[in-house]
């Protein structure tokens, strides 16, 4: 048998503790081996230790972390590498695709500069033109056009930033890729393209892939083997088919049940479109005369000015039509899903509706009031009624504020509560979003939480003012299936309790099918199809909608 590519033996990891405290093991006695060309999936709830394994492999843990056990790559101990060897090891031997691309990208560097720097740091003899040529070819694999070469990370959508991070990992042709939620921000078509590319490389280059994910359908489709983690331990491991068809551990069974709960599949034409229950779904009564939100011919165009060199060659400014003439109505009590590929304008549309960015042209009317004509103070006042759950909770939570302070902040901004009332409401909301015991989480900081826990804090903060309209930008994309299901059920419960209306932005088509009354499909800044969820899934009209549906991975029932 050939030598193992990568081996973890009895790995235990504890993050820095206060003096005198017993270590809390984030990873507790985990062992597994990965062969050249093998694709292994690592699944489990947020906070179970999946990402900690990825960071331990790359030696990216905080300096005072306690680490026991061994990690070997092609027979050599990773923990024994000296700094020069470690620098070469990272990128050339093993590449890590981070869950949050903004922690991977320098906000002061263009995308092109990121690529050139990465290549020349490992191959100093490589000329800039050769590096650019290789970088552009790699960016093309993840659907980033050459025209975006001179742009900065903040000019990209969350999904496009993730594609850049994946391209940077592929640049040096590593022997193993540790992909930590690599497609969390990506739509199904681009996810499929990237994972097919990674799968091809595994076969052709004998490259290993450790895919850390909470997307069970994706792991089932692209991985040979699966490991299930719970509370720092590996509770089940085996071939993907065996684990999915005959799960042995209770936690694995609960994960699969939750994923299938969201991917409820009825016969085409069935009337049983229930949210998670299989019962008939009662659509809200749509009064054609009184939408609570009405968007008319909304446009948001950006101009990319040529740099000095491009101006010498008379290069013209480029206009990006992020939102290009969109009209739609949202009615009280409904959930309207907005789906489409990353970079198609979904998030830009939501931010324009909220007036976080002013539109190029068009109208946004909320309860008959044109938000585009309001003063800054009037817009701020209106935001009590329209709240947003952002895609990236890490970027929208103040690292210097505790969880309790972050959630209470909107109450103080809108003068809705005093300190005592605010604390009581925040503790109640923390319990509602599953952060228990709430008194403990109230005092914690965002850096103390996993990505999924941060997302729940962001949801709690958006709901604390009891808004009428909630704009949800991928609100559960970072959560595992079981927590995702709980949070969605919570959102539905709160929707009834507080008479909420949701604009739900997602790239997960099965999630949209599970949750939404109507779906708007967005492509290239335009809405190409809009209709009842059941009709769009049963009989899609637009070629792009058909492509999206064909690319969506689906869990097979045992």
Residue 313 pLDDT > 70 = no
Highest mean pLDDT among 75-79, 265-269, 286-290, 551-555: 75-79
Highest mean pLDDT among 115-119, 473-477, 479-483: 115-119
Q: Give Cα separations from 214 to 228, 330, 527 (angstroms).
A: 10, 31, 29
Closest CA to 526 of 279, 230, 254, 325: 325
Rounded mean pLDDT, 446-470: 86
Q: In 78-224, where do the E strands start and end?
A: 94-97, 176-180, 208-212
Helix axes 451-463, 481-498, angle to 10 degrees: 0
Sign of CA dihedral 399, 405, 407, 410: negative
Q: What is the pLDDT of residues 239-263, one digit of tens each?
A: 999 998 899 999 999 888 877 777 6
What was the pLDDT predicted at 311?
A: 64
Please indicate, yes or no, whether the overall pTM of this predicted structure exceeds 0.85.
no
What was the pLDDT predicted at 404?
A: 95
Domains of the chain: 6-248 (3.40.50.300), 293-551 (3.40.50.300)
Residue 411 pLDDT > 90 = yes
What was the pLDDT predicted at 115?
A: 93
Residue 266 pLDDT > 50 = no
Closest CA to 517 of 262, 339, 283: 283
What was the pLDDT predicted at 307?
A: 65
Looking at per-residue pLDDT, the higher value among 541 and 434 belongs to 541
Residue 296, classified by CB atoms within 10 Å of its CB into exposed (0-12), middle (13-18) or buried (19+), is middle
Determine the Cα angle at 230 with ends 229 and 231, to 5°.
125
- According to DSSP, the β-strands at 25-34 and 39-43 are unpaired
Residue 377 pLDDT class (50, 70, 90 cuts): confident
Residue 400 pLDDT > 70 = yes
**Separation of alpha carbons 45 and 337, rounded Å:** 25
Distance of CA 117 to the CA centre of its chain: 26
Q: Cα-atom radius of gyration of the chain, to the nearest Å? A: 24
Q: Quickly count: other Cβ atoms within 10 Å of residue 253's Cβ.
A: 13
Residue 145 pLDDT > 60 = yes
What was the pLDDT predicted at 229?
A: 92
Looking at per-residue pLDDT, the higher value among 302 and 211 belongs to 211
- Asked if 228 and 235 touch (Cβ cutoff 8 Å), the reply is yes
In the chain, what is the straight-line distance between the N-terminal and C-terminal CA atoms, in Å?
33
Backbone angles phi, psi at 339, to 5 degrees: -120, 155
Residue 497 pLDDT > 90 = no
- According to DSSP, the β-strands at 39-43 and 66-73 are unpaired
Residue 113 pLDDT > 90 = yes
Q: Quickly count: other Cβ atoms within 10 Å of residue 534's Cβ.
A: 21
Q: Quickly count: other Cβ atoms within 10 Å of residue 307's Cβ.
A: 11
What was the pLDDT predicted at 189?
A: 75
What per-residue string of b and e applies to 182-216 under the rule 16 or more CB within 10 Å gives b? bbbbbbbbbbbbbbeebbebbeeeebbbbbbbbbb
State the DSSP code for 23. Answer: P
State the DSSP code for 450. Answer: -
What was the pLDDT predicted at 202?
A: 84
What was the pLDDT predicted at 423?
A: 95
Residue 216 pLDDT class (50, 70, 90 cuts): confident
**Separation of alpha carbons 490 and 431, rounded Å:** 11
State the average pLDDT for the chain. Answer: 84
Q: What is the pLDDT of residues 39-98, one digit of tens each?
A: 999 998 777 888 889 888 889 888 888 899 999 998 899 999 998 899 889 888 998 887
Residue 279 pLDDT class (50, 70, 90 cuts): very low
Highest mean pLDDT among 19-28, 274-283, 473-482: 19-28
State the DSSP code for 476. Answer: T
Rounded mean pLDDT, 176-203: 80
Looking at per-residue pLDDT, the higher value among 476 and 471 belongs to 471
User: DSSP alpha helices (H): ranges in 305-418?
Assistant: 308-312, 346-353, 376-382, 393-396, 403-413
Q: What is the pLDDT of residues 514-529, one digit of tens each?
A: 889 999 999 888 999 9
Residue 226 pLDDT class (50, 70, 90 cuts): very high
Residue 499 pLDDT > 90 = no
Rounded mean pLDDT, 123-152: 89
What was the pLDDT predicted at 555?
A: 61
Rounded mean pLDDT, 393-417: 90
Closest CA to 122 of 107, 111, 139, 134: 134
What was the pLDDT predicted at 255?
A: 85
Rounded mean pLDDT, 334-347: 87
Residue 325, classified by CB atoms within 10 Å of its CB into exposed (0-12), middle (13-18) or buried (19+), is middle
Rounded mean pLDDT, 407-411: 94
- Asked if 23 and 17 touch (Cβ cutoff 8 Å), the reply is yes
**Separation of alpha carbons 48 and 67, rounded Å:** 16
Helix axes 419-432, 451-463, angle to 10 degrees: 130
Looking at per-residue pLDDT, the higher value among 409 and 558 belongs to 409
**313-322 long-range CB contacts below 8 Å, 24 or more apart?**
318/147, 321/524, 321/525, 322/348, 322/525
What was the pLDDT predicted at 308?
A: 61
**Cis peptide, bond prior to residue 437, ω within 30 of zero:** yes
Residue 354 pLDDT > 60 = yes
What per-residue string of b and e applies to 390-409 under the rule 16 or more CB within 10 Å gives b? bbbbbebbeeeebbbbbbbb
Closest CA to 372 of 387, 353, 386, 385: 353
């Amino acid at each position: 048998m050939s030598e193992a590519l990568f081996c973890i033996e009895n790995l235990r990891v504890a993050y820095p503790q206060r003096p005198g405290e017993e270590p809390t093991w984030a990873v507790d006695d985990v062992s597994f081996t990965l062969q050249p060309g093998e694709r292994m999936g690592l699944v489990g709830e947020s906070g179970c230790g999946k990402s900690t394994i990825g960071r331990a492999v790359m030696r990216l843990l905080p300096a005072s972390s306690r680490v026991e056990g061994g990690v070997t790559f092609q027979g050599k101990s990773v923990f024994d590498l000296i700094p020069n060897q470690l620098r070469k090891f990272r990128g050339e031997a093993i590449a890590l695709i981070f869950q949050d691309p903004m922690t991977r990208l320098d906000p002061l560097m263009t995308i092109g500069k990121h690529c050139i720097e990465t290549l020349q740091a490992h191959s100093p003899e490589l000329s800039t033109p050769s590096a650019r040529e290789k970088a552009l070819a790699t960016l093309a694999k993840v659907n980033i056009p050459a025209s975006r070469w001179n742009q900065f990370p903040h000019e990209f959508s969350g999904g496009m930033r993730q594609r850049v991070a994946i391209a940077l990992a592929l640049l040096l042709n590593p022997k193993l890729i540790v992909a930590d939620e690599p497609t969390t921000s990506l739509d199904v078509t681009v996810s499929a393209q990237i994972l097919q590319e990674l799968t091809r490389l595994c076969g052709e280059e004998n490259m290993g892939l450790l895919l850390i994910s909470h997307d069970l359908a994706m792991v089932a489709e692209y991985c040979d083997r699966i490991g299930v983690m719970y509370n720092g331990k590996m509770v089940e491991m085996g071939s993907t088919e065996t684990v999915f068809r005959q799960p042995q551990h209770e936690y694995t069974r609960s994960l699969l049940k939750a994923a299938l709960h969201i991917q409820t599949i009825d016969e085409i034409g069935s009337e049983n479109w229930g949210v998670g229950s299989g019962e008939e779904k009662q659509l809200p009564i749509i009064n054609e005369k009184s939408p609570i939100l009405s968007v008319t011919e909304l446009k948001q165009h950006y101009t990319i000015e040529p740099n000095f060199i491009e101006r010498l060659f008379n290069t013209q400014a480029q206009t990006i039509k992020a939102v290009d003439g969109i009209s739609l109505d949202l009615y009280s009590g409904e959930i309207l899903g907005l789906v489409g590929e990353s970079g198609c304008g979904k998030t830009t549309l939501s931010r324009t509706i909220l007036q976080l960015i002013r539109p190029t042209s068009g109208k946004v009317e909320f309860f008959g009031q044109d938000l585009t004509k309001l003063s800054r103070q009037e817009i701020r006042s209106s935001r009590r009624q329209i709240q947003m759950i952002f895609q990236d909770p890490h970027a929208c939570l103040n690292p210097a504020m505790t969880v309790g302070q972050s959630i209470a902040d909107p109450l103080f901004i809108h003068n809705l509560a005093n300190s005592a009332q605010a604390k009581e409401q925040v503790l109640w909301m923390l319990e509602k979003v599953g952060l228990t015991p709430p008194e403990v989480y109230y005092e914690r900081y965002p850096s103390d939480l996993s990505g999924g826990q941060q997302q729940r804090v962001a949801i709690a903060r958006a709901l604390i003012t009891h808004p009428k309209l909630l704009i949800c930008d991928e609100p559960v994309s970072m959560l595992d299936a079981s927590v995702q299901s709980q949070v969605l059920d919570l959102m539905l419960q709160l929707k009834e309790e507080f008479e909420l209306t949701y604009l739900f932005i997602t790239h997960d088509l099965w999630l949209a099918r599970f949750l939404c009354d109507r779906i708007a499909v967005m492509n290239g800044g335009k809405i190409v199809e809009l209709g009842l969820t059941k009709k769009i899934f049963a009989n899609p009209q637009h070629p792009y909608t058909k492509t999206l549906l064909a690319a969506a991975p689906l869990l097979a029932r045992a």
